[in-house]
């Protein structure tokens, strides 16, 4: 882990270059003015071809009354992911990270998935899209299974769009149930280089749009 945010200005282009070589940023807390560059020895990924969906979750997706959207409220998703909650007493998203990812969203390199109960945002996730890689950053739930629903939709979207890498950075029990694994940094670099040599289409799924999914405004 290194701290270079006080040495030079971190721009969106520098941030994209960091992702392209396997590094991502974090802060120690919302009030921390510094950004630390992270390159884990063991990297969390979800192999898209081995994504596991339990029968209960399949049933939840089929029967859910909620609406799923993409890129409709990126700022709202980031704010929710940065908010302190009962299961998240602190956050790694400081003001600089918040601003950088909003800029990446404006550039088309950040995307969000939202889950709505009517007009109320109750779950979602966001991440970085580069080449054929998607780098999951954070997710949140305000109702049962809503972050899981966002992840299931994301994976369907990535498969439809020709993505080859879903990077989760680290793994948790929450992600393990979907098939998340840890791989050594050297193996991750091989997958990353392959993903950077091609392109993918985040919106390919929208050509076969489902009734409970909406396009961004």
Q: How far apart are CA 82 and CA 41, in angstroms?
A: 26
- Euclidean distance between CA atoms 142 and 132, whole angstroms: 30
Q: What is the C-alpha separation between 54 and 201, in angstroms, rounded?
A: 27
Q: Taking Cα atoms as reference points, which of 75, 201, 69 lies closest to residue 132?
A: 201
Rounded to whole angstroms, how far apart are CA atoms 45 and 176? Answer: 10
Q: Helix 146-161 vs helix 55-63: angle between axes, to the nearest 10 degrees? A: 90
Q: Give the N- to C-terminal CA distance of the chain in Å, as an integer.
A: 39
Over residues 59-71, the mean pLDDT reads 95
Domain ranges of the chain: 41-90+108-214
61: number of CA atoms within 13 Å, CB side?
17
The full length of the chain comes to 217
pTM of the model: 0.89
pLDDT tens by residue, 27-40: 776 667 788 899 99
At 180-203, the pLDDT tens digits run 999 999 999 999 999 999 999 999
Higher pLDDT, 215 or 90: 90
pLDDT for 34: 80
- Over residues 146-184, the pLDDT tens digits come to 999 999 999 999 999 999 999 999 999 989 999 999 999
What is the CATH architecture of 41-90+108-214?
3-Layer(aba) Sandwich (3.40)
For the sheet containing 165-169, what is the strand order? 181-184, 42-45, 165-169, 133-141, 120-130, 110-117, 67-70, 213-214
């Amino acid at each position: 882990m290194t701290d270079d945010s006080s040495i030079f200005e971190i721009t969106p282009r520098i941030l994209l270059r960091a992702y392209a070589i396997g590094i991502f940023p974090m802060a120690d807390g919302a009030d921390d003015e510094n950004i630390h560059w992270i390159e884990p020895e063991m990297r969390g990924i979800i192999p898209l071809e081995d994504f596991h969906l339990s029968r209960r979750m399949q049933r939840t997706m089929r029967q859910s009354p909620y609406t799923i959207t993409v890129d409709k409220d990126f700022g709202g998703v980031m704010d929710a992911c940065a908010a302190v909650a009962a299961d998240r007493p602190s956050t790694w998203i400081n003001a600089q990270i918040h601003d950088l990812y909003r800029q990446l969203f404006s550039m088309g390199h950040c995307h969000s998935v939202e889950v709505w109960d009517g007009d109320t945002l109750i779950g979602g996730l966001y991440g970085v899209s580069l080449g054929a890689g998607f780098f999951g950053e954070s997710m949140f739930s305000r109702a049962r299974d809503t972050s899981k629903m966002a992840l299931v939709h994301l994976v369907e979207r990535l498969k439809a769009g020709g993505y080859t890498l879903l990077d989760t950075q680290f793994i948790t029990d929450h992600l393990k149930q979907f098939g998340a694994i840890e791989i050594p940094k050297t193996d991750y670099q091989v997958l990353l280089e392959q993903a950077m040599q091609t392109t993918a289409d985040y919106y390919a799924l929208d050509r076969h749009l489902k009734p409970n999914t909406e396009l961004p405004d």
